[in-house]
Amino acid sequence: MELNDNGDMPLSDIIDVGILMHRDVHFGGQFDIMLDYYEKEGKGVVPDFDIERISELKDLERRSNQNIAPILLTGADADRVGAAKNAYKKLRSIYEKQASAKTKIPQLIADLILSEEEEPEKEIRALAAEKGAAVPALIDLLRSEDFYDPLFPGYGMAPTLAVKCLGMIGDKRAIIGLFESIGESDFFNEDSALDALHAIGKPAKEFLLKVMHGRPLNFDNERAALALGRFRDDPEVADACFTMLKEIDLKQNPLLAEYLVLACEGLSDPGKKRDFLALANRPSTPKALAQDIKTIAAGG
């Protein structure tokens, strides 16, 4: 993106627009602050935003002698910037009201979101210490679409941190929210949700078994089976997954079948172990799945 002969600003590509949006939201519209943050590799660094390109945009703005953001950020982009800035204002206002607040949980949530630590252990422990009282606010954070957006406070990482808190608390009220987050965001959040469900224990296991056996088969069956993989050492889970594995069409439900096979690791009955291995030799069993069965049956 360069100035033309008339000094006009031509259209920018999507990366340049993204850089300007992040600059205006997270760095007060200041390229210098953004560059310093990126050079120090802060928590909110976006891999696609190259330091050299940020410098070029800074130089372009200096040469044009005007703030280029209002020119390039219009419509939906401008609305998102405004919404993200407003989210920052709401979080900061919590601290102003804290003296008269009846509970410290809103401030603890704000601390968690605004922390610049990759693993804000202090903030996580503080919320976990509140136990059940913190669960509703953490579930709200987990379900908030805005906070999955790197443009918003927390750089898109806040829901994953909420999941870690919920796992430490172990309250069964979090089960549905954690379950619904599986397969809906990035790998790290999903992995944390699976760990949190396992940490809740028996109530989560019972919920997942019920969902896994639901009909007709759909995405919920798949994510329930995936989550039950964390309970694979439990004979009840292994037996239930093996039973379902024998009931479904393996070719029509490849992902569900794969998750069920992995959860069969805890089979303890010798007869069921033989039957499980026999599945690998069925002509209808896909080759890749057959190999997985043999690997699990052989003990990994």
Share of residues in the chain with pLDDT > 70 (%):
95
Of 219, 197, 220, nearest in space to 210 by CA? 220
Confidence of residue 10 (pLDDT cuts 50, 70, 90): low
Within 13 Å and on the Cβ side, how many CA atoms surround 292? 17
Asked whether residue 7 carries a pLDDT value surpassing 50, the answer given is no
Asked whether residue 78 carries a pLDDT value surpassing 70, the answer given is yes
Q: Who has greater pLDDT, 79 or 8?
A: 79
Q: What pLDDT is attached to residue 168?
A: 96
0.85 exceeded by pTM = yes
Share of residues in the chain with pLDDT > 90 (%):
88
Q: What is the pLDDT of residues 230-282, one digit of tens each?
A: 999 999 999 999 999 999 999 999 999 999 999 999 999 999 999 999 999 99
Q: What is the pLDDT of residues 138-175, one digit of tens each?
A: 999 999 999 999 999 999 999 999 999 999 999 999 99
207, 214 Cβ separation under 8 angstroms: no
162, 138 Cβ separation under 8 angstroms: yes
CA distances from 40 to 43, 52, 121, 262, 286 (A): 9, 14, 21, 41, 49
Mean of pLDDT values over 59-73 = 91
Identify the H or E element spanning 72. Answer: helix 69-72
CA distances from 52 to 30, 31, 69, 92, 294 (A): 16, 12, 18, 32, 51
- 14 residue type, one letter: I
113, 105 Cβ separation under 8 angstroms: no
